[in-house]
Amino acid sequence: MKRTWLLFSQTVTVLLAAYFVVATLKPQWLGRGAIGGSVAVIEAPVSAGGAGVGPSGFRAAAKVASAAVVSINTSKAAAKNPHAEDPWFKFFFGDQGQNEPQGGLGSGVIISASGYILTNNHVIEGADEIEVILNDTRKASAQVIGTDPDTDLAILKIALDKLPVIVLGNSDSLQVGDPVMAIGNPFGVGQTVTSGIVSALGRNQLGINTFENFIQTDAAINPGNSGGALVDVNGHLMGINTAIYSRSGGSMGIGFAIPVSTAKQVLEGIVRDGQVTRGWIGVEPQDLNAELAETFGLKPSVAKNGGVIITGVLQNGPAAQAGIQPGDVVIAVEGKAVSNVSQLLTAVAALKPGSPSPLTVLRKDNQIEIAVTPGKRQRPKAIQR
């Protein structure tokens, strides 16, 4: 009996040791971080955040993250002049029908050993051919798996083996002042690493995307950096660099990145369903202020507490069917407080179409909870950038 028990305990010990080694060195073999059952990503521990810079500065983080950041070259066939074959047109204007293809430049981040790459939608939008160049000089043609113009994100896939993969960090743990690095291919000069800090969080109402929740940084971001990585001092992906504020076309110390938390939601929707499905309730919201409060007969104190006032309700829409009325002030969606239109839009978009969800509203002097069953938000036309 003792011998059997000893053999059993030794077997269990060996199996646990093997599991620990595999989980530490090759977590993708265990399917950890699998999204939609087909994309295996590596996620950092929840506690991992942007701490201080180590003795070697950003060197180690840059080395780890840079390998997974790629350059993206796109080409688009030039539009043919409709009069190109007209002999009279050729006689007066010459042969102007053959224009050179249009080229584009951007960056991307490898997020899975199976070849999935995150980038910006505006980097690859309208492209006929997409070429990905790895930091180790390997090249491959990329396939577009899906795009989400609402967040300006796109998912590509390449067929190469032994791909370096970036670790997905916890962007919700970022705080203003945390050191970060931007990695990409600005102006096509080659992979470049710049450093800075998190200047602000939750930037919105910039008119860049439909859903905006940007990380603002002063790390230098320039044309060509779009789709590249914003990483913390551990080399973990915190955001996808997307846009800059500039009067000259170059960096002025104000850059914006999409949080990796948003990117993971988009990745999950595209890989699982082929698109990102968002909720819609059919209302016309406005940020509550003193003038609107007076117009709808609300107390001035209501405006001081914030919220979003509903100024219009679509007839027979989800909100109207649930009993939402013009003049209602939405203060929370599924228990999460909302204080402006951007937050309401994001919160409603996260709701599952067809499933009732509670909205907390102020109606005159009363606070009530209304269950609204969202519909499916239709994809709008891409924003002109």
CATH of the domain at 322: 2.30.42.10
Q: Residues 132-143: what's their mean pLDDT?
A: 94
In-domain check, residue 72 = no
Q: Residues 179-190: what's their mean pLDDT?
A: 92
Please state which of the ranges 100-104, 167-171, 233-237 shows the lowest mean pLDDT.
100-104
Q: Which residue among 238, 273, 308 closes a domain?
A: 273
| 3-class SS of residue 40 | strand
62, 193 contact by CB (below 8 A): yes
pLDDT score at 116: 95
pLDDT score at 131: 95
DSSP code for 196:
E
Q: Indicate if 300 and 366 belong to the same structural domain.
A: yes
Ramachandran class of 175: left when φ > 0, alpha when ψ lies in -120 to 50, beta otherwise: beta
In-domain check, residue 152 = no
Q: Indicate if 301 and 358 belong to the same structural domain.
A: yes
**Contacts within 8 Å (CB) and 24+ apart, 76-81:** 76/101, 76/102, 76/103, 76/104, 76/126, 76/127, 76/128, 77/101, 77/102, 77/128, 78/102
Contacts for 4 with CB less than 8 Å, ≥ 6 apart: none
Closest CA to 184 of 223, 153, 225: 225
pLDDT score at 4: 66
Q: Indicate if 301 and 227 belong to the same structural domain.
A: no
Please check the confidence at residue 155 and state whether its pLDDT lies above 90.
yes
In-domain check, residue 18 = no
Catalytic choice (226, 251, 342, 357): 226
| 3-class SS of residue 284 | strand
User: In this structure, are strands 153-157 and 116-120 parallel, antiparallel, or unpaired?
Assistant: antiparallel
Catalytic choice (66, 112, 150, 152): 152
Q: Which residue among 217, 251, 273 closes a domain?
A: 273
CA distance 24 to 315: 55
Q: Indicate if 285 and 216 belong to the same structural domain.
A: no
Q: Indicate if 172 and 254 belong to the same structural domain.
A: yes
Residue 329 amino acid letter: V
Please check the confidence at residue 32 and state whether its pLDDT lies above 60.
no
**First vs last C-alpha separation in the chain:** 75
Q: Give 94-130 pLDDT, tens digit per residue.
A: 665 556 667 789 999 999 999 999 999 999 998 999 9
Q: Indicate if 255 and 296 belong to the same structural domain.
A: no
216, 201 contact by CB (below 8 A): yes
Q: Which residue among 273, 303, 318 closes a domain?
A: 273
Q: Residues 54-75: what's their mean pLDDT?
A: 86
Torsion of CA 198, 199, 204, 206, to 10 degrees: -120
Q: Indicate if 253 and 301 belong to the same structural domain.
A: no
Q: Residues 297-309: what's their mean pLDDT?
A: 75
pLDDT score at 265: 85
CA distances from 58 to 27, 63, 64, 193, 242 (A): 25, 9, 10, 10, 22
Burial class of residue 321 (count of CB atoms within 10 Å of its CB; 0-12, 13-18, 19+): middle
64, 193 contact by CB (below 8 A): no
In-domain check, residue 199 = yes
Q: Indicate if 248 and 323 belong to the same structural domain.
A: no
DSSP code for 57:
B
Token match 């070259």: residue?
Answer: 73
CA distance 143 to 81: 29
Q: Indicate if 254 and 305 belong to the same structural domain.
A: no
In-domain check, residue 250 = yes
In-domain check, residue 145 = no
Closest CA to 153 of 118, 115, 201: 118
CA distance 233 to 253: 19
Q: Indicate if 264 and 225 belong to the same structural domain.
A: yes
Q: Is 226 a catalytic residue?
A: yes
283, 310 contact by CB (below 8 A): yes
Please state which of the ranges 134-143, 170-179, 333-342, 350-359 shows the lowest mean pLDDT.
333-342
Domain span including residue 184: 59-66+167-273
Catalytic choice (122, 150, 178, 199): 122
CA distance 241 to 184: 9
Looking at per-residue confidence, does 370 or 9 come out higher?
370
Q: Residues 290-319: what's their mean pLDDT?
A: 82
Q: Is 152 a catalytic residue?
A: yes
> What is the pTM assigned to this prediction?
0.72
Q: Indicate if 177 and 269 belong to the same structural domain.
A: yes
Longest dimension (CA), the chain: 102
CATH of the domain at 220: 2.40.10.10
In-domain check, residue 341 = yes
Please check the confidence at residue 383 and state whether its pLDDT lies above 60.
no
Closest CA to 112 of 42, 27, 160: 42
Q: Indicate if 266 and 236 belong to the same structural domain.
A: yes
In-domain check, residue 132 = no
Q: Give 267-294 pLDDT, tens digit per residue.
A: 988 888 888 888 889 999 988 888 887 7
pLDDT score at 152: 92
Mean pLDDT of the chain: 82
Q: How confident is the model at residue 350 (pLDDT cuts 50, 70, 90)?
A: confident
Domain count, the chain: 2
